[in-house]
A and B are shown apart, each in its own frame.
Chain A
Amino acid sequence: MSTGHGAGAQFGLAARARAAVLATADEIRAEDVPPAPAWAPAESPRLGALAALAASARTVLAKAVFAKAGGRARG
């Protein structure tokens, strides 16, 4: 574990890191966030691509499960 000097240095670093994180978080101001949630599905192409990827993985998995189940039924 750390020595007294090391612990002190790490404490100082933690305080600076915390300050940096909080200052960065504060870049998002209250007025930047819409006052009410949008219920429409996310339109973002970035998240849309993620959702498509997840859906594709689910389809592949489902096909594999059905194929296995079918094989068992035939066997």
Chain B
Amino acid sequence: MQTQPIAQDTADDAVTVLYRAHALRLTRLAYVMLGDRGLAEDIVREAFAGLRRRSVRRSDTAQAVFYLRTSVLSNCRTVLRRSSAARALTLVDIGEGPMSVVAAAETAALGSAERRTLMSAIRRLPARQREALVLRFCLDEPEAEIARLMRIRPGTVRSTTYRALAALGRLLAATP
């Protein structure tokens, strides 16, 4: 029995295809930003539900992916602004997660203690600096795309990343 119009089914199929291609990466991005698996899943689910509801042209994959990324980022920012979430970040244990399935040699070489220290420092960076670093590392997209997502100029992405690394170095140096 058909319960929805055919047009809605077609739209749902298009979003499902996008989901299968991008949900994992978006969830990872939100998880790195927030350090909370449940929140990351909620935010990605909401982004796809938003895509389904909105008039974003689902046939335009690039535009739809851009919508999904900006939606995830926007919700991550909202969560991070809340003080309760900020407290939760200090409680998350990032060192005891499951073994990586696709760990590259460089990630495998990094000890869990060092990773915990680095992630703790990254999460203490000012929001824009943290975002610039995480987007660059997680999405592996050109500077221009990061700039578009952050609504800043490519040159600002470069300088923000530079400042983020400098601040990260200072934070690590101050870590006992």
Chain A residues within CB distance 8 Å of chain B: 9-10, 13-30, 32-39, 41-42, 44, 46-47, 50
Contacts and interface: CB of A to CB of B under 8 A. Distances in A.
Given A17-B118, A20-B122, A32 B27 contact: yes
Nearest to B84: A46
A28 B27 contact: yes
Interface of A is mostly: helix
Nearest to A30: B24
Interface residues of B, number: 56
B146 interface: no
Given A10-B169, A20-B118, A39 B49 contact: yes
Contacts of B101: 26, 29-30
Contacts of A14: 165
B102 interface: yes
A24 B106 CA distance: 13
Contacts of A24: 31-32, 94, 97, 115, 119
Nearest to B112: A23
A20 B49 CA distance: 30
Contact of A37 (B16, B104, B169): B16
